[in-house]
Structure 1
Amino acid sequence: MKNRRTFLKMSSLAGLSVAGNGVLKNFPLASKTNLKMTPESNLNEGSVSLIGQYGPWANSLIENKLPSLSFRRKEWDDLEKWRKTAKTRLVERLGIPDIGGLPEVTVKKQYEYDGLHIEELSWQLPYGRPTEGILLKPVNAKEPLPGILAFHDHGGNKYFGTRKITRTSEAQHPLMKEHQEEYYEGLAWANEIAKRGYVVLVSDAFPFASRRVWMQDVPQHLRGKLNDENPEEPANIKAYNEWAGEHEHIMAKSLFSAGTTWPAVFFAEDRKALDILCARKDVDANRIGCGGLSGGGMRTVFMGGLDERIKCAVCVGFMTTWKDFVLNKSYTHTWMTYVPILPNELDFPEIFGLRASLPALVLNDEDDQLYTLPEMKQADKILAEVYKKANASNHYKCSYYPGLHKFDKKMQTEAFDWFDKWLK
């Protein structure tokens, strides 16, 4: 626990600029303020606002009234009609870009490791460098298997992507060994679920790893002393991640100015990965799940809410309310979370609730610094109400675990059992 506390103080979580030695890292505000965050920060949440006396007023814009497209409102008594209307509005608010059809996939390497057949994949989208992905499945699998779209976390670390939740050889980058020990109890969870009899696809999200912003591609005045040389050196990775954290507000404002949002770009690219997974002959496209921790949990919320090909979804460490962001926790979160105007129409949990009555599991850590426990429980209550009204209460579950922000072995076991229950 001591190591985990140290790690959480020294790095960001869902992207998420969390305190290092008490001062926020990887967040533009950090260099200008003395905001502090510790595991005890949740104790006094709610007594004051992040934006001072403006907090109660800002919260009053959404509090004590059901959003206009909430399924919990009395006027919505037809599940399919509500879902169609709410999804249409969500798509409008997101501004999902058209990024073309099914990309051609290149298999760069194939090999076996730890009982798994592994493929290193690549595909080119209409913009940016090629996306790299890792596919894992049991060796000697004969029949089509259910598939899992596994989302890596943010972790304040844009240099890495797929490697955060996979392991493909005995040789492992020391930073990824540390990352998996701190977040995942030393396990590469994509490997572990594949061993249960799934075809698992993990791809680099925008703008992580193969999809990251390179120094050579931005103006000189934004680079400082950074370059793209010796990228695997830990010191260079640290420097890059600090730069990428500072660059988030620039990326977000550019996306807004282009008529889209960061969650929309995530969704568009994740949907391409889903298309690729479903098109494989070794995958049963009628049995597909998705899940992830933290930033991966956020991507699960949007993918699980919008694409009905996802028959089972597991959101880990990313479930709260818009109120929590307004008053308490926006400073612990990346620019990647927000969809302007949407809080008037759907609370954050209701995005995930759009999948009712398809199975949904939420896993929370009781001491997670990224959210307040009361609002995690409020989000749970909202989803339970949505599923109850959809006559599908047994298709929704939320569990709480002791400890800080993580997806440890016990949580993974519950997640994998949930996938087995609904996909096998």
Structure 2
Amino acid sequence: MTAVDMAASPTRPSALAGYEDWPAYVARNRLTAHSEDARQLADTLGVPAVTPDLEYAVQSESEHDGVITSRLQWQLGFGPRTSAWFVRPAGAAGPLPGLLALHCHGGIKAYGAKRLVSLPDGVDRPDSGENPDGGDNPDGGAPLGERPGNANGSVSLGLPPLDVRAKLYGGRALATWLAQQGFAVLAHDTFMWGSRRFGLDPLPWRTAKAVSGQEALWREAGVEFSAAERFNAAAAAHEETVAKAATLIGTSVTGTVAHDDLAALGVLASLPGVDMDRLGCVGFSGGGGRAMVLGALSPLIRSYVVTCMMTTFGSLLPSYLDAHSWLLHTPGLAKLGDWPDLSVRSSATVLVQYGLADQLFPEQGMRDAHHHLMENMPARYTGSFWQEPHVFTPAMQDEAASFLTATLQPRQLTSTPTPDSTRTYQ
């Protein structure tokens, strides 16, 4: 939308398309926390209460590569329906430890959890009545774009970009691979991503100005941009508007993401074949921050892994602020302590993996966070340092799976593995 288009428009487009019911839901529903520490955090983040007895529907199921993958959907109290993928080993006997695989931010909101799931060709492709990421809300969740849509008017974004998986996850579909290691894994789209994205057609005016600038840069460079790339550019600019709206209605981006993650944790605990006494989560980058918040809010989480998402608040000033999204910066959070104190507030066992070449976090901030955790939760904390940039490599995933296997054993057998001395900084 150009400035001329905006001037000619008789009405101002919604800045919350698909989420017009979000403010009223937040006003009516506040999370009741299980402890004082969790209450303080929930109040600071403004976490909405999760709809009780949430029902899910199984949309499809396939067996491949030694796993069974089921596509699930559920409707939360506001916004579009959530799509998720439940992956577990084929032929598994007895209840399995359950994991939430929390997708990263990655600057890509057109797709969420699907970047973590491997599907055989032809399975889970959209039909004429649903959006390509598995959502079926073409009005509230349809992406913007100029390419022809299908019969219901939504714009096709194609398949999820495999280069994201190759670049950040070493080519592995994390959720599928974890299921092959013996876990029952649920990977869901969270608030603002995939099936839970905002409708950005037409664009809100402030977002439209940012997208117009990006399009001009692409054209000048001779870049042919896809509908998904244009949507991601719009969603990046729109995140500022979402953060503003969240503050206005008494929540936050992190708090609303936590709401979606708590809801998914409840679904995971109810799924057949999942041992609800052995639940954990794992996340890279923004997914790691989500794991920390979830562990601090829910006593169901016994163990979790944070990869490339640990530092101190002070270390982000003054040069690293613009490297991060609103998942890390929540007003008032520093009053409760430093970023690593989210893990201290949890009763869970945690592995933190640091990338010493991580371009998003200064090394000293990571080392200071490590010392803080060593001092405040030595019995529940393991830290490992890797000579890696901002990635979740297969070797790091191997370590994470070993840690989760050990810490999610039946309680009488639980033990914490000894950290590798070659990667642990004292």
TM-aligned CA deviation for residue 281 of structure 1: 2.7
Cα deviation 1:262-287 (Å, max 9, x = unaligned): 11111111000000010123100000
TM-aligned CA deviation for residue 84 of structure 1: 4.1
Correspondence list, 1:26-65, <5 A: none
The answer to whether structure 1 residue 366 and structure 2 residue 356 are counterparts is yes
TM-aligned CA deviation for residue 220 of structure 1: 6.8
Secondary structure at the counterpart of residue 100 of structure 2 = strand
TM-aligned CA deviation for residue 336 of structure 1: 2.3
Secondary structure at the counterpart of residue 93 of structure 2 = coil
Secondary structure at the counterpart of residue 251 of structure 2 = coil
TM-aligned CA deviation for residue 340 of structure 1: 1.6
Structure 1 runs of 4+ with >6 Å offset:
171-174
Cα deviation 1:188-211 (Å, max 9, x = unaligned): 111111111111000001110101
Alignment partner, residue 325 of structure 2: 334
Alignment partner, residue 130 of structure 2: none
2:48 corresponds to which letter in structure 1? P
Alignment partner, residue 374 of structure 2: 384
Alignment partner, residue 273 of structure 2: 282
Secondary structure at the counterpart of residue 271 of structure 1 = helix
Alignment partner, residue 142 of structure 1: 93
Correspondence list, 1:67-216, <5 A: 84-170=35-121, 176-216=161-201
Change beyond 3 A, Cα 1:221–1:91: closer
Change beyond 3 A, Cα 1:351–1:363: same
Q: Is the 8 A contact 2:59 2:71 kept in 1?
A: yes
TM-aligned CA deviation for residue 219 of structure 1: 4.7
Distance 1:416 1:375 in 2: 26
Distance 2:299 2:225 in 1: 40
TM-score between both structures, scaled by the size of structure 1? 0.74
Distance 2:330 2:361 in 1: 18
Distance 2:402 2:179 in 1: 13
1:347 corresponds to which letter in structure 2? D
Distance 2:336 2:79 in 1: 33
Correspondence list, 1:231-246, <5 A: 235-246=226-237
Distance 1:126 1:384 in 2: 39
Cα deviation 1:76-125 (Å, max 9, x = unaligned): xxxxxxx9443332122111112421321010001111111110000011
Q: Is the 8 A contact 1:163 1:176 kept in 2?
A: no
Aligned length: 330
TM-aligned CA deviation for residue 222 of structure 1: 4.8
Secondary structure at the counterpart of residue 108 of structure 2 = coil
Instruction: Supply the RMSD in Å over aligned alpha carbons.
Output: 2.1
Distance 2:205 2:331 in 1: 31
Alignment partner, residue 80 of structure 1: none
1:203 corresponds to which letter in structure 2? H
Alignment partner, residue 305 of structure 2: 314
Alignment partner, residue 408 of structure 1: 393
Distance 2:207 2:196 in 1: 18
Distance 2:159 2:43 in 1: 42
Alignment partner, residue 61 of structure 1: none
Q: Is the 8 A contact 1:312 1:419 kept in 2?
A: yes
Q: Is the 8 A contact 1:147 1:283 kept in 2?
A: yes
Distance 2:273 2:111 in 1: 28
Q: What is the identity percentage for the equivalent residue pairs of Structure 1 and Structure 2?
A: 30
TM-aligned CA deviation for residue 174 of structure 1: 6.8
Secondary structure at the counterpart of residue 298 of structure 1 = helix
TM-score between both structures, scaled by the size of structure 2? 0.74
Distance 1:400 1:220 in 2: 44
1:123 corresponds to which letter in structure 2? W
Correspondence list, 1:223-302, <5 A: 223=208, 235-302=226-293
Distance 1:155 1:139 in 2: 31
Secondary structure at the counterpart of residue 62 of structure 2 = strand
Stretch deviating more after TM superposition (159-168 or 339-348): 339-348
Q: Is the 8 A contact 2:115 2:160 kept in 1?
A: no
Cα deviation 1:41-66 (Å, max 9, x = unaligned): xxxxxxxxxxxxxxxxxxxxxxxxxx
Q: Which has the higher contact order (CA 8 A, sep 6+)?
A: 1
Q: Which segments of 5 or more consecutive residues in structure 2 lack a partner in the other structure?
A: 1-33, 126-157, 213-223, 410-426
Alignment partner, residue 375 of structure 1: 365
TM-aligned CA deviation for residue 331 of structure 1: 0.6
2:104 corresponds to which letter in structure 1? D
Secondary structure at the counterpart of residue 328 of structure 1 = coil
Q: Identify the structure with the greater helix proportion.
A: 1
Secondary structure at the counterpart of residue 299 of structure 1 = helix
TM-aligned CA deviation for residue 344 of structure 1: 2.6
Secondary structure at the counterpart of residue 337 of structure 1 = coil
